[in-house]
Structure 1
Amino acid sequence: MFTPSFLNGVEYLKISVLGCGRWAAFLAWYTESLGNQVMVWGRETSKRYQRLQDTRKNDFLMLPKQVSLSHSLDETISFGEIVIISISSQSLRSLGKQLHALGNIENKTFVLCMKGLEIGTGERLSRILLEELGAGIKVAVWVGPGHVQDFIKGIPNCMVIGSDDIAVTRQIVDEFSSNLIRFYYGTDLLGIEIGAAAKNVVGIAAGMLDGLQYTSLKGALMARGTKELSNLIEAMGGDPMTVYGLSHLGDYEATLFSLHSNNRRFGEDFVRGEVSDTLAEGVYTVEALMDLARIYKIELPICQAVYNIIKGSQDIKGELLSLFLRPVKAE
């Protein structure tokens, strides 16, 4: 159980947020709004951290003055009982090694608010953290639909918390639920993580269809993309129905259609020959999914098409349209 602190008789938790991008800043803003004490860590050389330190603002929100900022990882880890991590997925293993070297992690709960798979291994993020910090630590993931731009306007949404330990899941849901975010319990961590990561790849494909003026095909893309990833989750030993929940299908509106979606925008810019200046995790995830497809000997035609295009296929339209012209068979 979390051990609350008290200030003037009011109960609160100490929360550390590792990362200073737009989602990390929102998580600090949100958890502080629930009455908790929050400290945000960013690298001293990071332009995002420097901007928060100088102005307490980014392009979307202003951090309350009660939120502390630190470029000391040791100080930030020591501060929080709950440690929220929101960084690039490919940087997690390196961060895990740093945390292990610092120590003082045994009694903390780590919440991964990020989506992706490791290139070269296809490893899930929760597994990476367990490998680096030790099997005894408590790890959960927080995923699902929602954009900072909508949340700060007071537009609510539903999200999911998943862990291999249902007690940890329930504690986080109880602490972080509000009228702005309604949380659901996730019971299939493998399926949640694969689904949450893979929806970004489908988002890139959706953006490519937008760029080619084939937006009407996104309905078929949604249906087949969901089925494709359910097959992978089942092959890996997860529940194939998990992909139809909030972590994947439930996040499609925010990822395949929203103007705020980095992955959709990347796909649209790519087929138009424009350079995207936003982080699109699906670019890395599709490489990891190709690794998993080989390991589990399963076809992932949408992911394969996105991979081929990003890696230099000259026939972008042909690659995408081939997905909808495959041999006739029962759905």
Structure 2
Amino acid sequence: MISRCLPLLLLLCLAPTCHAVPTHFTYRPGETAQDMRSAYTTALLALALEKTRADYGDYRLDPAPAMNTVQALQALKKGSYPNFMLKMSYIPGLEQAGMLRGRLDVDLDVIGYRVCFTRRALLPALARVHDLAQLKGFSHGQGAGWVDNLILEDNGFKVMTVEQYAELFHQVASGRFDLFCRGINELEGEWQTYRQLAGLAVEPDLMLYYPLPRFFYANPQDAAGLKRVEAGVALALADGSLQRLWQQYFGPSVAFAKPAQRRLFRLTNPLLPPGLLAPDQPRFDPILMKFVAPAPQAPASRP
């Protein structure tokens, strides 16, 4: 009897109503309830998975536990969560450890443009900064495990690291270090969250830039999941839905930073090899305030 029913069961499983188990994906949430840095990344993952639903099937997208960058990198390397898609700046050591990296800069280069939090008492001294040598007289604070530490130190800056993201705002306001520089896409939301801190200020005239592409990384066990996400990101770039999402999440903060009105200091990122970015990779130019075609890539050079 069972054998006579098998053809019918196979036909039913080929019907549109027969769904496979959804593929489980995991994203990194903010470190605290006030930390909104992951909002765009989470929305982009959902967009990429929707774009690929027809070819890859249904999905679940759930948060991992709250964690700092060091903990997130440990979870990635251990494969602690199913299809954990971790957005990170390029870190050679991750690939040397066998981790997989997507090819597309999903932030479109915006986070490399940095505007700094500082303490209000330091604003007159910063207003007198007109060259990079003068700027190097001010110390920076950055988070533990952030690639910015290596970039700033290589460019001649003194850097102090802090374990907890939220503590960076308190320590720059209190004067433990002079500058806490943030991507212009992050600035407004963080200012609204921490503006009540005594002495905290946004420096109004200066902007740093160093190339800081952000990619999705995955554990080798999740190669198929990363392939799906990258395919969805490419589709979203091609039809403009990624750019619209980018504008929704980042546009107000970029406008708040007023990048075209600032003195721009360019630094190098010694970690980037030539040819890292996909040749069709667009980027956002905050001086022109628009998305532009890929720029020619050259080997990294020291200042």
| TM-score between the two structures when normalised by the length of structure 1 | 0.28
Name the one with the larger helix percent.
Answer: 1
Radius of gyration: which is bigger?
2
